[in-house]
């Protein structure tokens, strides 16, 4: 069974493998998943300000888990709206590599995982009550 600790390890592995520096000054949200499970499920991605507009982007969609923003943005660009303003957040990590690439692979807790396995693990977590 995939747990929130596993999700954190997966997101860490993706971040560690990213071309861009997610700890650097150009990344507004850093490792936002390094919080407790309940805050992750109920919270928003911090620091998303585009052209002076703060976008309040829920991390998880509890009613439709597979529509959770943290998952969707790993798969494709993510259109977001704040009031009358809208924009698109580029697929994450911003400069790749992306889990959707056919040759994607990272080490998660010492186990090599493909992008497809990562998608399956996140899907399992989201659809099994997010333990």
Domain residues for the domain of 69 are 4-127
The 10s digit of each residue's pLDDT in 67-87 is 999 999 999 999 999 999 999
| Overall domain count for the chain | 1
111-117: Cβ within 8 A, 24+ apart: 113/10, 113/13
pTM metric for this prediction? 0.93
Instruction: Give the whole-angstrom CA distance, residue 10 versus residue 28.
Output: 20
Q: What is the mean pLDDT of residues 49-58?
A: 94
The 10s digit of each residue's pLDDT in 91-107 is 999 889 999 999 999 99
Whether the pLDDT of residue 43 is over 90: the answer is yes
What pLDDT does 25 receive?
Answer: 59
Report which of residues 121 and 48 the model is more confident about: 121
Outline where the chain has alpha helix (H).
4-17, 37-42, 69-75, 115-127
- Which of 41, 56, 48 has its CA nearest to residue 7? 41
Q: Do 72 and 88 form a contact (C-beta atoms < 8 A)?
A: no
Instruction: Give the whole-angstrom CA distance, residue 24 versus residue 107.
Output: 22
């Amino acid at each position: 069974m995939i747990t929130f600790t596993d999700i954190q390890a997966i997101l860490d592995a993706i971040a560690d493998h990213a071309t861009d520096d997610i700890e650097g000054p150009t990344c507004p949200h850093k490792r936002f998943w390094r919080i407790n499970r309940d805050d992750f499920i109920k919270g928003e991605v911090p620091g998303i300000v585009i052209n002076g507009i703060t976008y309040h982007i829920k991390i998880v969609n509890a009613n439709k888990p597979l529509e959770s923003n943290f998952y969707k943005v790993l798969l494709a660009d993510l259109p977001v709206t704040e009031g009358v303003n809208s924009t698109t957040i580029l697929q994450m990590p911003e400069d790749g590599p992306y889990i959707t690439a056919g040759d994607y692979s990272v080490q998660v807790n010492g186990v090599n995982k493909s992008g497809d396995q990562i998608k399956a693990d996140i899907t399992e977590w989201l659809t099994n009550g997010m333990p």
